[in-house]
């Protein structure tokens, strides 16, 4: 297992990260791969994520297991989806803090509408449309009224988290369509030639729940599909081109005829939509709708951290959706790995914070190397 | 793909320019307390190159931005080929055949040369909304070669280019279109002598073809007399001079500006620092 680091005395425990990259002796293939990676916008975080993953793989036996991957999933898949939407806003040079409120708001609206008898899917759709309407308001305030996005979405964050609490009356509710049904089936066994029938309990989750976050891989599949689709939009469509254009030179883009207000509103709508969707997924997965803003607020910050770590600039004009996914994966690996290593819960946040700073610093240097390298 | 820059192809005769392609009357524009334009009357004949002059802050760029639909005038009327002209947006003006090189160039640093060249005119794989990057690269290369602009690589971000190259790309973007009215706001500002000469050659070539009419803001009077058919000078928010270049000279144009400068000096005795 430790054969990854050829030559070095032992998989250096403490400062393990540095030792792995020191393949200076053989410059050719590894170097080339590294240089190719570095020339990518997501390059630095890919390198950092791999280094961290390898470190944990070497140091904890249970890291590289399917079971562990399953525990990693619910942590990083929601962040990846949230990050995908947020990247579209961040490339504009704006920020959307209200995603935490949408995350909370969507499942509560979903519950209310379903309770009113609208049915599962229509209720989900209407809840998402409600989130998109909030996105329109965000975008309009930012691009038409001219309030800064930080202030606008901070206001919307509190407003809609508050509204969610009001609507839910502070009470948790069971997520519609997500309840596990237990049935008892009679299973025939043949023991010593005798046919005996024993009752066994089987858990069922409905198709709705399986699709909307309840299935083990459902959120992962959503995350991959959404991230890839939005990366294609960003790189290969006019919408993406205009998003970069506005973030890079808003006045110039407007002078060239880009509809700055329209694109800005559209991106805020997209961001609110992804946040609402993740809120629904998580409610279905956890089977309850908790009217508690503290979880969403933490996820909001992690999603932004993931996007930034993944190579999206807060100042706008540059960013990648895939990078945000890898950034989210990095945060997931880090948390998961630290837990497996037996790091005390109290230290978790502390290490995460340090790791974010280190990863960001690596980003800055790699970014400089990329621009200086002339390969672009 | 309407071939944009098709040169030397049955250009309509540069007729006696009896008709104005563009005419504006009593245009006024204020920005809060600042009156940028008071009462501008201006016309542009078909196939003509009009030089627009004026001090810094005279309102030249404001006038250009009104003509190209980026800003709306507070007062006045505009006519395009005899029809009332009220552009709703830059796209609207563009659809009516007006293209602009802005003073700030309106280039997107983060985007490649060819994406900048095709901004708002992107080619896509038809039924799909996906960008046809290869086609745009090819067409961009052709267009730049045709114009004679030397940009070694068109897939690099324009942030990497020199001031003159950036300006050349902004000009190329405008020329590489179906426009029949081209507005150039200080197209030579960041250019060296050689690049500047190239742009002036390009303007001369367009003039020969006779397809487009041009309004161009310049500061160098030698350039003005060389490249333009007529000059209009904005002073105090209105056109103070409007003459064919054949009837004016560097001396006359300089005199007007010197006089304006003297008046400004007298107007504020104490404050001797001249405006930049
Ligand atoms: N968007 C704007 N907001 C406020 N003032 C402006 C704006 N655009 C131009 N101005 C003012 O209008 C005047 C004319 O500006 P401009 O048209 O750029 O002059 P020029 O191009 O002739 O140098 C200046 O005083 C300038 O400060
Ligand atoms: Mg100007």
pLDDT value at position A372?
Answer: 56
What sign has the CA pseudo-torsion A309, A310, A316, A321?
Answer: negative
pLDDT value at position A351?
Answer: 85
CA of A252 to the centre of ligand 2 (A): 15
Contact A254 B111 (CB under 8 A): no
Residue A53 within a domain: yes
pLDDT value at position B243?
Answer: 94
Residue of minimum CA distance from atom 5 in ligand 1: B31
Ligand nearest to the CA of B38: 1
The residue segments making up the domain with residue A216 are 39-173+207-371
The ipTM, to two decimals, is 0.87
| Cβ contact A324:A103 at 8 Å | no
pLDDT value at position B28?
Answer: 97
- Which helix (H) or strand (E) covers residue A197, if one does? strand A194-204
Q: Token pair for residue B173?
A: 């973007």
**Range in A5-14, A83-92, A337-346, B198-207 with the lowest mean pLDDT:** A5-14
Instruction: Name the pLDDT band for B2 (thresholds 50, 70, 90).
Output: very low
Rounded distance between C-alpha atoms, residue B140 and residue A147, angstroms:
38
As for ligand 1, residues whose beta carbon falls within 6 Å of it are: B 31, 34, 36, 54, 56-62
Rounded distance between C-alpha atoms, residue B198 and residue B48, angstroms:
19
CB proximity B129 to A under 8 Å: yes
pLDDT value at position A22?
Answer: 41
Nearest to A268 by CA among A128, A130, A124, A95: A95
Residue A8 has pLDDT above 80, yes or no: no
Closest to A245 (Cβ–Cβ): which among B65, B104, B111?
B111
CA of B271 to the centre of ligand 1 (A): 21
Residue A17 within a domain: no
Instruction: Name the pLDDT band for A374 (thresholds 50, 70, 90).
Output: very low
pLDDT value at position B274?
Answer: 52
Q: Which atom of ligand 1 is nearest to the CA of B58?
A: 22
pLDDT value at position A27?
Answer: 58
Helix (H, G, I), strand (E, B) or coil at A131: helix
The residue written with tokens 């009837």 in the block is B247
Rounded distance between C-alpha atoms, residue B48 and residue A262, angstroms:
37
Rounded distance between C-alpha atoms, residue B237 and residue A276, angstroms:
53
Q: Domain count of chain A?
A: 1
Residue A31 within a domain: no
Residue A13 has pLDDT above 70, yes or no: no
Domain boundaries, chain B: 14-104+181-266
Rounded distance between C-alpha atoms, residue A162 and residue A291, angstroms:
10
CB proximity A117 to B under 8 Å: no
- Give the per-residue SS3 of chain B: CCCCCCCCCCCCCCCCCCCEEEEEEEEEEEECCEEEEEEEEEEEECCCEEEEEECCCCCHHHHHHHHCCCCCCCEEEEEECCEECCCCCHHHHHHCCEEEECCCCCCCCCCEHHHHHCCCCCCECCCCCEECHHHHHHHHHHHHHHHCCCCCCCCCEHHHCCHHHHHHHHHHHHHCCCCCEEEEECCCCCCCHHHHHHHHHHHHHHHHHCCCEEEEECCCHHHHHHHCCEEEEEECCEEEEEEEHHHCCHHHHHHHHHHHHHHHHHHCCCCCCCCC
Highest average pLDDT, of A59-63, A321-325, A339-343, B193-197, comes from: A321-325
CB proximity B115 to A under 8 Å: yes
| Cβ contact A18:A362 at 8 Å | no
Return the axis-axis angle of helices A238-248 and A260-286, rounded to nearest 10°. Answer: 110
Contact B115 A237 (CB under 8 A): no
Instruction: Name the pLDDT band for B269 (thresholds 50, 70, 90).
Output: low
Residue A198 has pLDDT above 60, yes or no: yes
Instruction: Name the pLDDT band for A367 (thresholds 50, 70, 90).
Output: low
The residue written with tokens 């207000």 in the block is A261
What mean pLDDT is reported for chain A? 87
Using alpha carbons, list the distances in angstroms from residue B178 to A341, B86, B87, B94, B163. Answer: 66, 20, 17, 9, 26
| Cβ contact B21:B213 at 8 Å | yes
The string of pLDDT tens digits covering residues B196-213 is: 888 899 999 999 988 999
The string of pLDDT tens digits covering residues B23-48 is: 999 999 999 999 999 999 999 999 99
Residue B145 has pLDDT above 80, yes or no: yes
Q: Token pair for residue A161?
A: 């988290």
Residue A256 DSSP symbol: T
Q: Is the pTM of this model over 0.90?
A: no
Proportion of chain A above pLDDT 90, given as a percent: 56
Residue A25 has pLDDT above 60, yes or no: no
pLDDT value at position A15?
Answer: 37
| Cβ contact A274:A85 at 8 Å | yes
Mean pLDDT of A127-143: 98
Distance of CA B110 to the CA centre of its chain: 24
Residue A19 has pLDDT above 70, yes or no: no
Partners of A375 on chain B (C-beta within 8 Å) are: none
- Which helix (H) or strand (E) covers residue A250, if one does? helix A250-255
User: What is the assigned CATH class of domain B14-104+181-266?
Assistant: alpha beta
Instruction: Name the pLDDT band for A243 (thresholds 50, 70, 90).
Output: very high
Interface test with B, best of A257, A266, A367 (most B CBs within 10 A): A257
CB contact residues (below 8 A), chain B span 64-83, against chain A: 65, 70
Contact A258 B119 (CB under 8 A): yes
Residue A24 has pLDDT above 50, yes or no: no
CA of A231 to the centre of ligand 2 (A): 39
CA of B111 to the centre of ligand 1 (A): 27
Q: Can you name the residues that pair with B239 across neighbouring β-strands?
A: B234
CATH number at residue A143: 1.10.3470
- Which helix (H) or strand (E) covers residue A132, if one does? helix A120-140
Rounded distance between C-alpha atoms, residue A228 and residue A235, angstroms:
10
Mean pLDDT of A119-138: 98
């Amino acid at each position: 297992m430790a054969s990854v680091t050829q030559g070095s005395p032992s998989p250096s425990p403490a400062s393990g990260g540095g030792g792995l990259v020191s393949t200076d002796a053989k410059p050719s293939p590894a170097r080339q791969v590294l240089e190719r990676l570095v020339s990518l916008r997501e390059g630095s975080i890919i390198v950092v994520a791999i280094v961290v993953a390898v470190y944990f793989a070497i140091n904890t036996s249970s890291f590289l297991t399917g079971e562990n991957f399953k525990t990693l999933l619910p942590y990083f898949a929601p962040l990846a989806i949230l990050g995908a939407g947020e990247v579209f806003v961040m490339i504009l040079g704006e920020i959307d803090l209200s995603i935490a409120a949408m995350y909370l708001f969507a499942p509560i609206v979903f519950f209310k509408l379903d309770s009113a008898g609208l049915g599962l899917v229509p209720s989900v759709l209407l809840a998402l449309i409600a989130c998109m309407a909030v996105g329109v308001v965000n975008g309009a305030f930012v691009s038409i009224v001219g309030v800064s996005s930080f202030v606008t979405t901070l206001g919307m964050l509190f407003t809609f988290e508050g509204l969610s609490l009001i609507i839910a009356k502070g009470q948790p509710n069971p997520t519609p369509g997500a309840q596990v049904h237990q049935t008892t089936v009679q299973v025939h066994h043949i023991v010593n030639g005798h046919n005996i029938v024993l009752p066994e309990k089987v858990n069922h989750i409905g198709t709705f729940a399986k699709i909307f976050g309840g299935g083990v891989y459902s959120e992962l599949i959503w995350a991959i599909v959404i991230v890839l689709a939005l990366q294609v939009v960003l790189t290969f469509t006019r919408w993406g081109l205009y998003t970069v254009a506005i973030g890079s030179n808003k006045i110039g883009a407007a002078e060239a005829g880009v509809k700055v207000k329209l694109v800005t509103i559209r991106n805020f709508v997209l961001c609110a939509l992804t946040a609402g969707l993740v809120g629904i997924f998580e409610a279905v997965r956890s089977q309850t709708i908790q009217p508690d803003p503290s979880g969403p607020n933490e996820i909001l910050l992690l999603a932004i951290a993931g996007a930034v770590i993944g190579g999206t600039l807060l100042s706008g004009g540059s960013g990648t959706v895939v990078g945000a996914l890898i950034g989210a994966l990095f945060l997931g690996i880090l948390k998961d790995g630290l837990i497996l290593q037996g790091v005390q819960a109290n230290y978790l946040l502390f290490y995460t914070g340090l790791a974010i700073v280190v990863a960001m610093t690596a980003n800055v240097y790699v970014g400089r190397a990329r621009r200086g390298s002339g390969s672009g | 793909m309407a071939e944009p820059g098709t040169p030397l192809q049955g250009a309509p005769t540069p007729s006696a320019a009896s008709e104005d392609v563009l005419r504006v009357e009593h245009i006024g524009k204020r920005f809060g307390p600042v009156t940028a334009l008071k009462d501008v009357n201006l016309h542009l004949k078909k196939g003509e190159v009009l030089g627009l002059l004026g001090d810094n802050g005279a309102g030249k760029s404001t006038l250009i931005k009104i003509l190209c639909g980026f800003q709306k005038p507070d007062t006045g009327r505009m006519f395009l080929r005899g029809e009332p002209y009220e552009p709703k947006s830059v796209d609207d003006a563009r659809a009516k055949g007006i293209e602009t090189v802005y003073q700030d160039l309106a280039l997107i640093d983060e985007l490649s040369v060819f994406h900048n060249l095709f901004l708002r005119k992107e080619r896509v794989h038809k039924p799909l909304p996906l960008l046809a990057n290869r086609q745009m690269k090819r067409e961009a290369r052709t267009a730049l070669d045709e114009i004679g602009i030397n940009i070694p690589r068109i897939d690099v971000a324009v942030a990497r280019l020199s001031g003159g190259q950036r300006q050349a790309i902004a000009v190329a973007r405008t020329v590489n279109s179906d426009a029949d009215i081209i507005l150039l706001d200080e197209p030579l500002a960041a250019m060296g002598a050689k690049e500047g000469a190239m742009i002036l050659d390009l303007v001369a070539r367009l003039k020969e073809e006779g397809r487009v009419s041009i309004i161009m803001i310049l500061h160098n009077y030698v350039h003005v007399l060389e490249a333009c058919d007529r000059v209009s000078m904005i002073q105090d928010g209105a056109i103070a001079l409007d003459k064919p270049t054949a009837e004016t000279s560097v001396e006359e144009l300089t005199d007007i500006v010197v006089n304006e400068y003297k008046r400004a000096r007298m107007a504020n005795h104490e404050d001797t620092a001249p405006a930049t």
